[in-house]
Amino acid sequence: MMLIKNAKIYSPKFLGKKDIFICNGKIVCIAENLEPNLPNVKVIDASNFTAIPGLIDKHVHITGGGGEGGFKTRVPEIMLSNLIEAGITTAVGLLGTDSTTRSVENLVAKAHALNDEGITCYAHTGAYSSKTPTITGEIEKDIVFVDPIIGTKLAISDHRSSSVSKDELAHIVSAGRVAGMISSKSGHTTLHMGDGKKGLNLIYEVLNEYDMPITLFQPTHVNRNEELFKQSFKFIKDGGYIDFTCMPGLTPLEAVKR
């Protein structure tokens, strides 16, 4: 059991300074001046600290990213401490450019490991390529039968992508949609956005021709250049979701303010 005293609490609205009582790894009570009459309670003075709900990061290369500058540039897999120290308690792991020396199998194994260590971790099947690396051989089966997998990853508007057509994009996104319905999972497709001049246009080509919810397409890195960022305004107004990335230049905080 643990009692955290006098923390400035956001939940997510500011609640003021309160105590947090934790038992068996669960928050039991948040209130002022808690004094539980119980043995073996660890007390932490949080007078100089702020407590917030755990953060959700929906785009984490949990098995490591990089590798575009040769084998020596491969980034090691993430450790639990890296996530916890950043306040992240839920993560979604996915592959990046390299789906040759890295695999969906390895990704799922790492997601299981992080779940075993105490946080919540999901994963996406697929990668940059339209060949869509999977475990079972099909997007649908990966999402339906492999527990941590909740959606698909694909890259568009990027020189490292497979330059998919609107029909190919519609097919991949539709596969995730149906699988998500069957398995009660999200089934969305996370779209890595590069600096290509088309930006989000390919998504709109699909939306204009096919009857698909805009929420199935979830573009990420939309703050990587000004033109893509401006396109994302319309995407939000049309009912879609976007994802900002912590990178040099336009930070997520600055992007939200605009």
Domain ranges of the chain: 2-51, 55-257
Collect the ranges in the chain with pLDDT lower than 50: none
Q: What is the pLDDT of residue 44?
A: 97
- At residue 5, what are phi and psi to the nearest 5 degrees? -100, 135
* Contact predicate 185/214, CB 8 Å: no
Q: What is the pLDDT of residue 257?
A: 74
pTM: 0.89
Domains 2-51 and 55-257 share a fold: no
- At residue 157, what are phi and psi to the nearest 5 degrees? 50, 45
Q: What is the pLDDT of residue 104?
A: 98
* Contact predicate 188/215, CB 8 Å: yes
**R_g over Cα of the chain:** 21
Q: What is the pLDDT of residue 246?
A: 83
Q: What is the pLDDT of residue 168?
A: 96
Q: Which residues contact 16 (CB under 8 A, 6 or more apart)?
A: 8, 9, 32
Q: What is the pLDDT of residue 250?
A: 79
Q: Hey, what are 232's tokens?
A: 């994302």
> What's the CATH number for 55-257?
3.20.20.140
* Contact predicate 157/182, CB 8 Å: no
In 23-165, where does DSSP find H-type helix? 80-85, 104-117, 139-145
> What's the CATH number for 2-51?
2.30.40.10
Q: What is the pLDDT of residue 222?
A: 93
What is the rounded distance in angstroms from the CA atom of residue 126 to the CA atom of residue 103?
9
What is the rounded distance in angstroms from the CA atom of residue 134 to the CA atom of residue 179?
14
- Enumerate the β-bridge partners of residue 121: 91
